[in-house]
Chains A and B, each alone.
Chain A
Amino acid sequence: MPAFAAPLDRAILAGALCGDGAAQVGAAEGLVRAGGDLPADDLAYAGRLLGALVERRLACLPDGALLLAGQNAPEGQDAVTDARRPAAEARAPVLGLRQRAAVETARGVVALLTEGTPAARAAGLAVLERRITIVPAAVLDRARDAESDAALKGTIASLAEAAALSSPDPVRRRAAIAAVAASPSGAAAARLDALKSDPAYRADPAFRVALDAGLAQVRRAVAIGDGLAIVYNGLSFASILFMAAAGLAIIFGLMGVINLAQGEFIMLGAYTTYGVQEAFRRFVPGLLDLYLVAAVPVAFLAVALVGIGVEALVLRHLYRRPLMSLLATWAVSLFLVNLVRVTVGTQNLQFSMPAYVSGGVPVYADFVMTWNRLFAIGFAVATLFLTLLILRRTPLGLDIRAVTQNRDMAACLGLPTRRIDRLAFGLGSGLAGLAGVALCPIYSVNPGMGSGFIVDSFMVVVLGGVGSLIGTLVAAVAVGGANVLIEPISGAVAAKVIVLVGIILFLQRRPKGLFAVRRRR
Chain B
Amino acid sequence: MTHLTRRSFVGAAALLAAPALIRPSLAADPVKLGCLFSSSGTMANLEGRLNHVVRMAADEINGRGGVNGRQIEVLTSDPASDWPLYAQVGRQMLQQEKVAALFGCWTSVSRKSVLPVVEQNDGLLFYPLHFEGDENSKNVVYMNSPPASSVLPAVDYLMGPEGVGAKRFFMIGSDYVWPRTINKQLKGYWKSKGIPETAWREEYVPFGFSNFQTLVNQVRSFASQPGGQAIVVLTVVGSSIPDFLREFANQGVTATDVPILGLDMVEADLEGLDTAKLVGHLNCWAYLQAAKGERNKKFLGDWAAYVKAKNVPFSADTVIDPMVSAYDSVHLWALAAAKAGSFAVPEVRQAFANLSFDDPSGYTLTMTGENNYVSRGVFIGSVNEKRGFDVLWQSADAPKPVPFSPYG
Contact = CB atoms under 8 A, between A and B. Distances in A.
A and B touch in the complex (CB under 8 A): yes
Contacts of B213: 229, 232-233, 236-237, 370, 373, 484
B205 A492 contact: yes
Contacts of A351: 272
Given A187-B224, A233-B217, A372-B250, A97 B272 contact: no
A448 B42 contact: yes
B44 A370 contact: no
Chain A residues touching B, range: 35 or more
B303 to A, nearest CB: 15
A445 B217 contact: no
B215 to A, nearest CB: 7
B255 interface: yes
A492 B209 contact: yes
Interface string B259-290: 10000000010011010010110100000000
Interface string B286-328: 0000000000000000000000000001110000000000000
B239 A186 contact: no
Interface in B354-383: 382
A237 B211 contact: yes
Nearest to A232: B213
B221 A186 contact: yes
B339 to A, nearest CB: 37
Contacts of B268: 347-348
Contact of A448 (B41, B217, B393): B41
B242 interface: yes
Interface stretch (A291-299, A358-366, A381-389): A358-366
Contact of A491 (B204, B282, B384, B391): B204
Contacts of B279: 100
Contacts of B315: 347
Interface stretch (A1-9, A173-181, A189-197): A189-197
A341 B40 contact: yes
A185 interface: yes
Which of B164, B211, B382 has the most chain A CB atoms closer than 10 A to its own CB? B211
Interface in A447-501: 447-449, 452, 483-484, 487-488, 491-493, 496
Contacts of B208: 452
Given A98-B162, A347-B268, A487-B214, A193 B252 contact: no
Chain B residues touching A, range: 35 or more
Contacts of B250: 358-360, 368, 370-373
A94 interface: yes
Interface in A339-385: 341-342, 345-353, 358-360, 362, 366, 368, 370-373
A348 B272 contact: yes
B224 A366 contact: yes
A492 B162 CA distance: 34
B251 A492 contact: no
A349 B40 contact: no
B246 interface: yes
Contact of A492 (B164, B206, B225, B257): B206
A444 B239 contact: yes
A186 B162 contact: no
Nearest to A55: B385
Given A492-B203, A493-B175, A362 B40 contact: no
A444 B217 contact: no
Which of B175, B209, B213, B225 has the most chain A CB atoms closer than 10 A to its own CB? B213
A491 B203 CA distance: 7
B59 interface: no
A11 B79 CA distance: 60
B82 interface: no
Nearest to A274: B272
A362 B253 CA distance: 11
B211 to A, nearest CB: 6
A444 B392 contact: no
A440 to B, nearest CB: 10
A158 interface: no
B362 to A, nearest CB: 16
Contacts of A443: 210, 239, 243
Contacts of B211: 233, 237, 240, 483, 492
Given A97-B255, A347-B271, A445-B272, A366 B221 contact: yes
Contacts of B226: 190, 193-194
B165 interface: yes
A90 interface: no
A449 B211 CA distance: 13
B218 interface: yes
Given A366-B224, A368-B251, A94 B391 contact: yes
A366 B253 CA distance: 12
A101 interface: yes
A130 interface: yes
A496 B164 contact: no
A351 B42 CA distance: 20
A347 B45 contact: yes
A412 to B, nearest CB: 47
A217 interface: no
A142 interface: no
Interface string A432-446: 000000000011111
A185 B252 CA distance: 14
A492 B252 contact: no
Contacts of B242: 348, 444
B214 A233 contact: yes
A485 to B, nearest CB: 10
B45 A446 contact: yes
A94 B164 contact: no
B259 A493 contact: no
A94 B384 CA distance: 10
A62 interface: no
Nearest to B224: A186
A100 B255 contact: yes
A230 B385 CA distance: 32
17 contacts: A96-B382, A98-B165, A100-B256, A233-B217, A345-B314, A346-B45, A347-B271, A347-B315, A358-B249, A366-B221, A368-B251, A373-B250, A443-B243, A444-B239, A483-B211, A492-B205, A492-B211
Interface of A: 21, 55-56, 94-98, 100-101, 104, 130, 185-187, 189-190, 193-194, 226, 229-230, 232-233, 236-237, 240, 337-338, 341-342, 345-353, 358-360, 362, 366, 368, 370-373, 442-449, 452, 483-484, 487-488, 491-493, 496
Given A97-B164, A97-B256, A358-B277, 11 more contacts: A98-B163, A233-B217, A240-B211, A347-B315, A348-B45, A353-B274, A362-B252, A366-B224, A447-B44, A491-B205, A496-B206
The 6 closest A-B pairs by CB, nearest first: A186-B224, A348-B272, A101-B256, A346-B45, A346-B44, A370-B250
